Amino acid sequence: MGRVVVGVTVGLATVACAVAAVAVGGRMRSRGKWKRVVRVLREVEEGCESSVERLRQVVDAMAVEMHAGLASEGGSKLKMLLTYVHNLPDGTEKGTYYALHLGGTNFRVLRVHLHDRQSSVLEHEVERQVIPQHLMTSTSKDLFDFIASSLMEFIEKEGDGSELSLDRRRELGFTFSFPVKQTSVSSGILIKWTKGFSIVDMVGVDVPACLQEALIRKGLDMRVAALVNDTVGTLALGHYHDSDTVASVIIGTGTNACYLERVDAIIKCQGHLTSSGYMVVNMEWGNFWSSHLPRTSYDIDLDSESPNPNDQGFEKMISGMYLGDIVRRVILRMSLESDMFGPVSSKLNMPFTLRTPMMAAMHEDDSPDLREVARILRDILEIPDVPLKLRKVVVKVCDVVTRRAARLAAAGIVGILKKIGRDGSGGITSGRRSDVKMKRTVVAIEGGLYSSYTLFREYLHEALNEILGEDIAKHVILKVTEDGSGVGAALLAASHSFL
């Protein structure tokens, strides 16, 4: 009997040891998986590092590239396009002006009533119209006859109480969101179509002239007074409300910037004179590049798999089109390195499944159990039952990617200020000086990434303070504007109506 007891005891001990060994092995494997997740996170943090020293290097690189782009065509990654806009609205304009925004598969018509400088709220009416599919591949005459007819109908709705009559000359600002080489404030040659348009007879043709001819055919006495880029429209709107506005930045799905430059600093347009001595320059800063930008393997993969590799490098690191997908790529890498997220879902493998608004919602989830993070991972990326500690890792990834984007955007803004001597350094070649008297400097900003994403906005402001120093930064004001592509275009029609 004793031998039986001893045998059972030894057997139970052996089983217990085996169970303990399995448990320990399981914990060690789990710990190993967790370490792999943490290692990926640390690599992302190091790759996205944006110290103030590095940001100042980006500032200097931006200013240098701006100089090069102003010196000659093709001299820089920054196109530094001339807009021929030299007379920004200042709040003294009065009257009724119009805007047409052709930005994609629809267009908008606006009528803006200007009263006087005291009117902080602009009175305007908007009408949207879908462009029939067949007109997107038809002829320039068909497209612009349709748009001109819509303009005519819009004007006819002004009503009996309007001081305007159909035989009165009207001024129009035309925002055309396609690649154009501008040749004057009211003319520009279409370089190529995008966004599903393919009207062959328009490529290489003056776009506003096509619209003007259609307006004449319809018997509508309306002049295209300004061809407008949406970033320039944002600057016009900002300047109308605040004459200290010297630049504008769009940070939304895409990103761009423009600013007011001295004409004598634009070497590639020597001999061109303006009454103000200034001209708005459209930077097309999405294409900016510098070796100082903190680039990761995820950025490299995203770029190589994009329709435009080696193009728009800055935009791919800071704009709303791409931030969500960078985060998706990091989560995918963590899933491949460790099965803590479960089997890799097909949605996680799909580019741009995670849109930036969803990423922002995860980043700003302040619930104790991060339930919004869990919901988005489950519903959007098809990753169910993610434990809380992994949800916290996902939030951290969102934070790292967003913080880098916001800080680089801030460095870009300071680069513009440095170029025009508004960063407190006294100019591009000078060191930081304490005896420079700073002027009040306003930058107009438009786009949901800045206006709707609180943490992005806070990180951008934090970086501005770090780069400039608080004494200088307090003179730089970022002001949100809305609808530069519409209202801003009408304002430019007003400021150029008698030129």
Domains in the chain: boundaries: 50-81+241-481, 83-227
Q: What is the mean pLDDT of residues 55-74?
A: 96
Residue 20, pLDDT score: 41
Residue type present at position 168: R
Q: What is the mean pLDDT of residues 438-445?
A: 95
Q: How far apart are CA 183 and CA 35, in angstroms?
A: 58
- With beta carbons less than 8 A apart as the criterion, state whether 293 and 317 touch: yes
Does residue 391 have an active-site annotation?
no
pLDDT in tens, 135-144: 999 999 999 9
Confidence at 399, pLDDT banded by 50, 70, 90: very high
pLDDT in tens, 5-19: 445 444 444 444 444
**Residue 97: strand, helix, or coil:** strand
pLDDT in tens, 243-259: 999 999 999 999 999 99
| Fold observed for domain 83-227 | Nucleotidyltransferase; domain 5 (3.30.420)
What mean pLDDT, rounded, does the chain reach? 88
Q: What is the mean pLDDT of residues 211-233?
A: 94
Top-confidence residue, 359 or 277: 359
- With beta carbons less than 8 A apart as the criterion, state whether 438 and 426 touch: no
Residue 157, pLDDT score: 82
Q: What is the mean pLDDT of residues 460-468?
A: 98
Top-confidence residue, 8 or 56: 56
> Which of 206, 230, 325, 365 is flagged as catalytic?
230
DSSP per residue over 196-249, as a string? T---GGGTTSBHHHHHHHHHHHTT--EEEEEEE-HHHHHHHHHHHH-TTEEEEE
Q: Which of 6-20, 65-79, 448-462 has the weakest average pLDDT? A: 6-20
Residue 123, pLDDT score: 72
Q: What is the mean pLDDT of residues 202-219?
A: 95
Does residue 223 have an active-site annotation?
no
Indicate whether 158 pLDDT > 90: no
Beta pairing class for 106-114 and 476-480: unpaired
Indicate whether 205 pLDDT > 80: yes
pLDDT in tens, 403-425: 999 999 999 999 999 999 999 88
Residue 322, pLDDT score: 96
Beta pairing class for 81-82 and 245-251: unpaired
CATH number for the region 50-81+241-481 comes to 3.40.367.20
Q: How far apart are CA 189 and CA 205, in angstroms?
A: 5
Indicate whether 27 pLDDT > 80: no
Euclidean distance between the first and final Cα of the chain, in Å? 115
Q: Which of 64-68, 92-96, 302-306, 390-394 has the weakest average pLDDT? A: 92-96
Q: How far apart are CA 269 and CA 460, in angstroms?
A: 34
Q: How far apart are CA 477 and CA 461, in angstroms?
A: 10
Indicate whether 94 pLDDT > 90: no
Residue 4, pLDDT score: 44
Residue 6, pLDDT score: 46
Does residue 230 have an active-site annotation?
yes
Residue 216, pLDDT score: 95
Q: What is the mean pLDDT of residues 81-99?
A: 91
Query: Residue ranges of the alpha helices (H) in 261-304?
Result: 297-304
Residue 91, pLDDT score: 87
> Which of 50, 56, 60, 108 is flagged as catalytic?
108
Indicate whether 125 pLDDT > 90: no
Task: Say whether pTM exceeds 0.85.
Answer: yes
Report which of 62, 87, 70, 427 is spatially closest to residue 281, judged by C-alpha positions. Answer: 70
Residue 270, pLDDT score: 76
Residue 499, pLDDT score: 55
Indicate whether 163 pLDDT > 60: no
- With beta carbons less than 8 A apart as the criterion, state whether 244 and 480 touch: no
Q: Which of 109-118, 247-256, 308-317 has the weakest average pLDDT? A: 109-118
> Which of 119, 138, 150, 177 is flagged as catalytic?
177
Indicate whether 166 pLDDT > 70: no
Angle 410-411-414 from CA coordinates, rounded to 5°: 90
Residue 424, pLDDT score: 87
Q: What is the mean pLDDT of residues 95-104?
A: 90
Top-confidence residue, 311 or 11: 311
Q: How far apart are CA 491 and CA 496, in angstroms?
A: 9
pLDDT in tens, 371-383: 999 999 999 999 9
Confidence at 100, pLDDT banded by 50, 70, 90: very high
